[in-house]
Structure 1
């Protein structure tokens, strides 16, 4: 099993295209205090999820500024409304999708993934700073050794399982949307990072022929 973030980076590198990560885009707008970034910061500080319209605006801004001829979009879209908004952006740019990759895990791999995630210690200031008891030294004082933020753990496994299930249900609707357009590529996400990356690269290259 491989983390989605690591797989996306490896796939983009292998295909020689930029990886466009939704989280990175949002953080850049927030740090630069752009108008969408200010709205995103206000919504986040209020405990609200970022709206589909705001995310579409942020992704559309990135795509229109650089208009890459090839790209790997990571973390977006997460629901059918976002998929429709992305279609509108790409249609205006004349850059249609080659394919939409969805990762599939067996039930045993999903359970292992959930237990791995609930054991992680995350930084409240930057959730990309993470520490796992099996591979990292977790600070005893609960302070991130990278940036000084407070560390926390996700809720218990059953709660995380419910949240993941809800997220997967939304993503399944996105998968159905792209399947209807004959763009969906299903990838077995079990195995080593190299194995999953190789399968993903093969599937995407085959689709681009």
Structure 2
């Protein structure tokens, strides 16, 4: 299957993408991984992306699109892929359609992870990270440490990242609504959108998503 995964910040896209890609036997292609791979390998697109990022600017659509096309052309993606973070706007969605059409291919589904805005804020603003080891992540509601402000694992100090504050999260949501959410209508017009609730335990959401995708494939 060829799938695009969309949803607001805090919807759990990265977590779900990893599980879904494994269950479906297709590569998980994320924008972040594309950037890191191209920059570390010193590709022309990577050098272009780095120059924009170093200057504090957004990477232009054409650079991101070029990276995505190169990745989708690799052998492991011949049988399908799951795109996470791309496309992030209608321009990129149109470019993806054109690239697939040129190869006689098309998307099978666009999986929309739906989460209420207040839940997104609660999920992200409640995160606390260990200063000693950033892999140790807690949450004031869903995974509270035994002692407030102290990591259960190593005893390090827990803190809230600057981009996890409520004000920052709401600004990120505004960007999502204005830039990325319109692609849902773009794909809905093609009959590709499958919307599921991303509330509940991780495995519950994964099972919900797999069921919806299988139903879409057999429809």
1:166 and 2:170 are equivalent in the alignment: no
Q: 1:106-137, CA deviations, whole angstroms, 9 ceiling, x for partnerless residues?
A: 244223123135x4479xxxxxx554354655
Q: Which residue of 1 aligns with 2:137?
A: 132
Q: Which residue of 2 aligns with 1:54?
A: 63
Specify which of 129, 142, 163 is matched with residue 154 of structure 1: 163
Q: 1:41-93, CA deviations, whole angstroms, 9 ceiling, x for partnerless residues?
A: 11111001111110000001111233522211111111000000111111112
Q: Check conservation: 1:26, 1:37, Cα contact below 8 A.
A: yes
1:82 and 2:92 are equivalent in the alignment: yes
Q: Which residue of 2 aligns with 1:103?
A: 113
In structure 1, C-alpha distance between the alignment counterparts of 2:178 and 2:19, rounded to whole Å: 26
Q: 1:146-178, CA deviations, whole angstroms, 9 ceiling, x for partnerless residues?
A: xxxxx9532631132122222233222010000
In structure 2, C-alpha distance between the alignment counterparts of 1:84 and 1:138, rounded to whole Å: 49
In structure 2, C-alpha distance between the alignment counterparts of 1:204 and 1:5, rounded to whole Å: 17
Q: Check conservation: 1:2, 1:191, Cα contact below 8 A.
A: no
In structure 2, C-alpha distance between the alignment counterparts of 1:130 and 1:167, rounded to whole Å: 26
Q: Which residue of 1 aligns with 2:37?
A: 28
TM-score, structure 1 length as denominator? 0.82
Q: Check conservation: 2:89, 2:180, Cα contact below 8 A.
A: yes
Q: Check conservation: 1:69, 1:95, Cα contact below 8 A.
A: no
Q: 1:153-208, CA deviations, whole angstroms, 9 ceiling, x for partnerless residues?
A: 32631132122222233222010000011101111000000110001111111111
What's the RMSD between the two structures over aligned residues?
Answer: 2.6
| Cα shift at 1:3 | 2.1
Q: Which residue of 2 aligns with 1:189?
A: 198
Q: Check conservation: 2:125, 2:164, Cα contact below 8 A.
A: no
1:115 and 2:115 are equivalent in the alignment: no
- For structure 2, list consecutive stretches of 5 or more residues without a partner in the other structure: 1-9, 139-143, 146-150
Q: Which residue of 2 aligns with 1:146?
A: none
TM-score, structure 2 length as denominator? 0.79
Q: How many residues align?
A: 195
1:154 alignment partner, SS class: helix
- For structure 1, list consecutive stretches of 5 or more residues without a partner in the other structure: 123-128, 143-150
